[in-house]
Amino acid sequence: MAAPPSVTTERLSGTQPSASSLVVFEDVALAFEGTPVLKGISFHLAKGETKAIFGVAGSGKSTILKLTLGLLKPDAGRIYVLGEEISQRKEEDLFELRRRIGMVFQESALFDSLTVRENVAFRLLEEGNVTEEEVDQPVREALSFVELENTVDMFPSELSGGMRRRVAIARAMITHPELMLYDSPTGGLDPVTATTIIELIIKQRDVFKTSSLLVTHRLQDAFIMATHYFDRRRNRMQPLPPGTRSEVPMGFLILRDGKIIFDGGLGELVHTQDEYIREYIS
């Protein structure tokens, strides 16, 4: 596992949705109080893929993630998640599915009256029939994954923004869900901390083979993800040797005015002729 992953040449993003797609959006539209935010969005996330979603502030990135979890309902279109159609499901019937998905919210959304330990253990305690001792081990593992072992008994308000982000990641991944949704995990952080967070996301991707949707403002995050792999032996990420590509395919989505204006891989992105995209990535 320590060796750099092999070269994959097949083009995985922008292909047709198939049975192995974890997330499929079909012509999804949503308006808030009469203002359209999404005007017919279609894309899909293949199993094992990571898709980065870009767009200016207010373009509807967080909205897409909330739709994926069924936290919001689309006005039109269909959404399939983990093979199930969720767009018109009743709230009560969505909880089962949500347990198989991890989400890191833009503002972390930690439970502020629970300690870090209780936050991280939330899923396990909710799934029931576990004793306090039984959750200790996974909680410690999850917190050491994000390198925050010594904060267990602190409250979220006593942590820095970057630490909160990492606790939120630990909370979402404790049950190792098949799909992770990251909402601007590096937003508002200094470059060093931001890179640490991205390293964690790469670790999650390469160690647990999680598929993910990653909303970010920093194009650089996605570039790092596309060009690095996680070296388990050294416990850090390493650049892929030139000429190889990650065994985890990386796709890019760019949103503009409620539509997707780009859906493709890194190669297509850097060679695009579109003015707006060129400006965006420069």
Partner 1 sequence: MELVSPADFAKDAVQAVQDYTLLAVRSVGNLFRPPRYVADIVYQADLIGVGSLPIVVLTGLSIGAELALNSANTLQRFGSLSLIGQLVSVGMVRELGPIITGLMVAGRNASGMASELGSMLVTEQIDAMRALGTDPMKKLVTPRVAATVFMLFFLTIISDLLGLFGGALISTLLYHMDWHQYWSTAWQILVFQDVFMGLLKPVLFGFVIATIGCYYGLTARGGTQGVGRATTQAVVASSVLILVVDLLVTKLLMTIFAYQ
Q: Which residue has the tokens 């992105």?
A: 269
Cβ atoms of 30 and 38 closer than 8 Å: yes
Q: Which of residues 171-200 bind partner 1 (CB under 8 A)?
A: 171-172
CB of 111 to partner 1, least distance (A): 6
32 belongs to the binding site for ligand ATP (CB under 6 A): yes
Of 10, 33, 96, 279, the residue at the interface with partner 1 (CB under 8 A) is 96
Q: Which of 25, 46, 55, 212 binds ligand ATP (CB under 6 A)?
A: 55
Is 58 a residue that touches ligand ATP (CB under 6 A)? Answer: yes
Q: Is 111 in the site for ligand ATP (CB under 6 A)?
A: no
Among 122, 140, 154, 193, binds partner 1 (CB under 8 A): 122
Give the CA radius of gyration of the chain. Answer: 19
The verdict on 59 binding ligand ATP (CB under 6 A) reads yes
CA distances for 224 relative to 30, 84, 199, 220, angstroms: 32, 32, 9, 6
Tell me phi and psi for residue 177, to 5 degrees: -65, 155
Place of tokens 């995050």: 221
Contact pick of 13, 21, 50, 62 for Mg ion (by CB under 5 A): 62
Q: Is 139 among the residues that bind partner 1 (CB under 8 A)? A: no
Per CB under 6 A, the segment of 56-64, 110-118, 122-130, 160-168 that binds ligand ATP is 56-64
- Taking CB under 8 A as the criterion, the residue among 107, 134, 141, 190 binding partner 1 is 107
Q: Per the structure block, which two tokens stand in for 198? A: 């991205």
Q: Which residues pair with 51 in a beta bridge?
A: 213, 251
Cβ-contact 225, 197 below 8 angstroms: no
